[in-house]
Amino acid sequence: MTETPQSSGRAAAPAAGQAKIPRTERGRRTLRLILDAAAEEFGERGYHEGSIARIAQRADVAIGSFYTYFSSKEAVFRALVADMSRQVRDHVVPYILAAPDRLAGERAGLAAYLAFVRTHKALYRIIDESAFVAEDAYRRHYADVAEGYAASLQQAFGRGEISDGDWQVRAWAIMGMNVFLGLKFGVWDDERSVEDIAAAAHALIANGIGPR
């Protein structure tokens, strides 16, 4: 709940034309400070409880500077959602690709996801809250992930690694599974090891729960 997610190293993406792009080094530095401060603020207090004044304070800039880079409270939130959506992806996808096959990748990906969530709880909260602050951004995030998932599964089928089936339903189902396991065992409960959970989920996805 009280995490401190860095808004990554890369120069924070211009985020769909909402932020004014800084022209000097000083400007880039300030924008980064504001984005990180916003991530902390919204992560801890949520969108509606979070305040621009407090974001500015955390970033050690004046309120006016905030409005130099973002046209509104919602704009900075949207920028954050896009940024974090990318972060999760960039972190998890390599684990899936590195695995010997898709099923093993599923397991490794979930483990990586859980570990990432445990160290980036603010991120999780921000993406979820976007459903009520910037619904289009929320839908886009999950639609994108689901699409990638479905494509990846179909390719695995082509390689004979998994059975045939309904790719759309499978993608959304597995995605939902992972999100809820992340919520329960990543955000809320740190007790069990991520490998344990990934193994159990892997067994479920691979073989189902049918008898014998």
Partner DNA sequence: TCCACAGTTGAATAGTGGTTCAGGTTTCAG
Partner DNA sequence: CTGAAACCTGAACCACTATTCAACTGTGGA
List residues near DNA by CB under 7 A. Answer: 20, 22-27, 29-30, 49-53, 61-65, 67-68, 71-74
CB 76, min distance to DNA, A:
8
Q: Measured between alpha carbons, how far is 42 from 9 in angstroms, rounded to an integer? A: 20
Q: Which is nearer to its own copies, 93 or 104 (CB)?
A: 104
Q: Which 3 state secondary structure label does DSSP give 212? A: coil
Position among 24, 26, 64, 209 found at the interface with its own copies (CB under 8 A): 209
CB 61, min distance to DNA, A:
4
Binder of residue 180, out of its own copies, DNA, none (CB less than 5 to 8 A by kind): its own copies
3-state SS, 11-75, equals CCCCCCCCCCCCCCHHHHHHHHHHHHHHHHHHHHHHHHHCCHHHHHHHHCCCHHHHHHHCCCHHH
Q: Measured between alpha carbons, how far is 100 from 103 in angstroms, rounded to an integer? A: 9
**DSSP secondary structure letter of residue 192:** S
By CB under 8 A, is residue 111 in contact with its own copies?
A: no
Position among 13, 119, 139, 147 found at the interface with its own copies (CB under 8 A): 139
Report the site for its own copies in 43-102 (rule: CB under 8 A).
46-48
Q: Which is nearer to DNA, 11 or 53 (CB)?
A: 53
Stretch that binds its own copies, among 4-12, 61-69, 90-98, 193-201 (CB under 8 A): 193-201
Binding mask 12-51 for its own copies (x = CB under 8 A): ----------------------------------xxx---
Q: Which helix (H) or strand (E) holds 3?
A: none
Q: Which is nearer to its own copies, 24 or 163 (CB)?
A: 163
Report the site for its own copies in 162-191 (rule: CB under 8 A).
162-163, 165-166, 169-170, 172-181, 183-185, 188
CB 25, min distance to its own copies, A:
37
For residue 108, give both structure tokens.
Answer: 């490794």
Are the C-beta atoms of 145 and 178 separated by less than 8 Å?
no
CB 203, min distance to its own copies, A:
6
Q: What string of DSSP letters covers 123-166?
A: HHHHHHHHHHH-HHHHHHHHHHHHHHHHHHHHHHHHTTSS----
Q: How many CA atoms lie within 13 A of 158 on its CB side?
A: 6
